Amino acid sequence: MIIGIVAISQDHAIGRDGKLPWHYSADLQFFKRTTVGNAVLMGANTWRSLRGPLPGRLNIVMTRTGGVEPGDGVVRLSTTREAVELSHYLSGDLFVIGGAATYASFADVIDKWIVTEIPITVADADTYMPSDFLAGFETVETVELEDGLVVKVLRRRQD
pLDDT, tens digit, 9 for 90 and up, residues 4-36: 999 999 999 999 998 999 999 999 999 999 999
Q: What is the DSSP letter of 108?
A: T
Rounded CA gap, 45 and 103, in Å? 13
Q: Is a pLDDT exceeding 70 seen at residue 96? A: yes
Residue 26: predicted pLDDT: 96
Each residue of 45-82: pLDDT tens digit?
898 888 889 999 999 999 887 677 777 788 999 999 99
Residue 71: predicted pLDDT: 75
Structural domain count of the chain: 1
For residue 73, CA distances in Å to 16, 24, 37, 43, 97 come to 27, 26, 12, 16, 16
Q: What is the CATH number of the domain that holds 127?
A: 3.40.430.10
Residue range of the domain that includes 108: 2-156
- Taking the model in full, what pTM does it have? 0.94
Each residue of 118-147: pLDDT tens digit?
999 999 999 999 999 999 999 999 999 999
Rounded CA gap, 72 and 75, in Å? 8
